[in-house]
Amino acid sequence: MITDREPLLTADEVGILVNAAATAPSMHNTQPWRFEVCGRVVDVILDEERSLPAEDRAGRMILIGLGAATFNLRVAAAMLGYETTFATNPDPDRPEIVTRVFLGGRQSPMPPLGSLYGELRRRHTYRGPLLAIDIPQQVLSLISTAARTEGSDLFWLEPSSTRELIHILREADELDLHDEDRLTERGRWIGGDRSEDGVPERALGPLPARPAAFRNLSAGFDDQSRSTGVFEIEPRIAVLSTATDRPSEWIRAGMALQHALLTATSYDLAASFLNQALEYVDLRSRVQDLVGQTARPQMVIRIGYPAMAGSATPRRPWQQTLAE
Ligand SMILES: Cc1cc2nc3c(=O)[nH]c(=O)nc-3n(C[C@H](O)[C@H](O)[C@H](O)COP(=O)(O)O)c2cc1C
């Protein structure tokens, strides 16, 4: 209930919230979202036209991106001093509304999530080599706790499981190369010089000079003229998992992903994703075997200290994503 003592959001506040939400990661940077602001309620809406039917048939990845955008909204609202609550799939008559964020009263000092606001624009998917520096155990625990706070688990793979995962990733890469529908879809979003969405070539990172745990998003349709780099032999890999595999869990996984990534960014860590195996049912179940029979893998995250500067991906002007 909005009272006279709780004024509506100002235009500046709406801009801050929507801009922050749009810095979220999304598969191929499709930015599959729109936002509707009514009073002190912000709805996050799925934009079907930005779906990826060949690579994300179940719509799992798109919901992870929308969950991440929702988490960013909560962070920005906290920075502005607002407590938030949220609901997933709040309106049965409008299934396209994925989450609804309610802004409550203003708090001073700001709610704790607000401290992550400064990380929103520092976080980028980093696809270059990582330094051979161990991540302190305490930092790994903080990243895991961030994911747990949002209801997901992070499994840090042991070296033997990492080696097994790398085999599985190579099988996925091979399948990808022979799937025309996937290659065509990727060609629409990946490579070249992009100003509003998609992944420009400059953000793809160098190609590995020797075999590495890597995902070359432009494999199979690009001319591979990129420079090469020497990648770490055994990266630190975490698998983000949920207890069940329902769409509402995918949204929560997106929130957990973003909470974990922003926490990692605050310790100068960078991450990229090795999700190719999760896009094939049988390979996904082999990744599941690595983390335990009851865990449903949602994201494979490669994480460490970056050895070179990364490159940001573009975003659409935020006004374009705001419903009238
Ligand atoms: C659900 C999901 C799946 C993704 N899968 C991959 C992937 O397999 N490989 C990859 O290089 N990046 C992947 N990404 C990263 C996106 O390409 C990236 O978030 C997007 O280009 C925006 O760039 P930014 O993260 O630097 O803001 C994924 C992101 C999300 C949210």
**pLDDT per residue as tens, the chain (324 positions):** 444 455 689 999 999 999 999 999 999 999 999 999 999 999 999 999 999 999 999 999 999 999 999 999 999 999 999 999 999 999 999 999 999 999 999 999 999 999 999 999 999 999 999 999 999 999 999 999 999 999 999 999 999 999 999 999 999 999 999 999 999 999 999 999 999 999 999 999 999 988 888 899 988 877 667 899 999 988 999 999 999 999 999 999 999 999 999 999 999 999 999 999 999 999 999 999 999 878 999 999 999 999 999 999 999 999 999 986
Q: Do 160 and 83 share a structural domain?
A: no
Tell me if 132 is assigned to some domain: no
Mutate to test the pocket of ligand 1, among 19, 23, 26 (most ligand atoms within 8 A of CB): 26
Domain containing residue 148: 137-304
In whole angstroms, what is the distance from residue 237 CA to residue 301 CA?
A: 6
Q: Which protein residue's CA is at the shortest distance from atom 12 of ligand 1?
A: 273
Q: Closest by alpha carbon to 259, among 59, 78, 127?
A: 78
Q: Do 283 and 241 share a structural domain?
A: yes
Per-residue confidence (pLDDT) for residue 5, from 0 to 100: 52
Phi then psi for 238, rounded to 5 degrees? -120, 140
Taking the centre of ligand 1 as the mean of its atom positions, its distance from the CA of residue 8, in whole angstroms, is 34
What's the burial of 161, exposed, middle or buried (CB within 10 Å: 0-12/13-18/19+)? middle
Q: What is the 3-state secondary structure (H, E, C) of 230-282?
A: CCCCCCEEEEEEECCCCHHHHHHHHHHHHHHHHHHHHCCCEEEECCHHHHCHH
Q: Do 110 and 141 share a structural domain?
A: no
Ligand 1 touching residue 261 (CB < 6 A) = no
Taking the centre of ligand 1 as the mean of its atom positions, its distance from the CA of residue 104, in whole angstroms, is 31
Q: Do 49 and 162 share a structural domain?
A: no
Tell me if 315 is assigned to some domain: no
Per-residue confidence (pLDDT) for residue 15, from 0 to 100: 97
Ligand 1 touching residue 60 (CB < 6 A) = no
In whole angstroms, what is the distance from residue 153 CA to residue 171 CA?
A: 25
Ligand 1 touching residue 216 (CB < 6 A) = no
- Ligand 1, residue 68: give the atom nearest the CA: 31
**Cβ burial 271-296 (10 Å sphere, 16+ → b, else e):** bbbbbbbbbbeebbebbbebbeeebb
Query: Any idea what DSSP says for residue 81?
Result: T
- pTM of the model as a whole: 0.97
- Ligand 1, residue 25: give the atom nearest the CA: 19
Ligand 1 touching residue 266 (CB < 6 A) = no
Q: How many residues does the chain have?
A: 324
Q: Which protein residue's CA is at the shortest distance from atom 29 of ligand 1?
A: 27
Query: Any idea what DSSP says for residue 109?
Result: S
Taking the centre of ligand 1 as the mean of its atom positions, its distance from the CA of residue 148, in whole angstroms, is 21
Q: Closest by alpha carbon to 74, among 61, 59, 89, 87?
A: 87
Please name the residues in contact with 80: beta carbons below 8 A apart, sequence gap of 6 or more: 13, 16, 17, 106, 110, 114
Q: Do 214 and 146 share a structural domain?
A: yes
Domain count, the chain: 2
Tell me if 316 is assigned to some domain: no
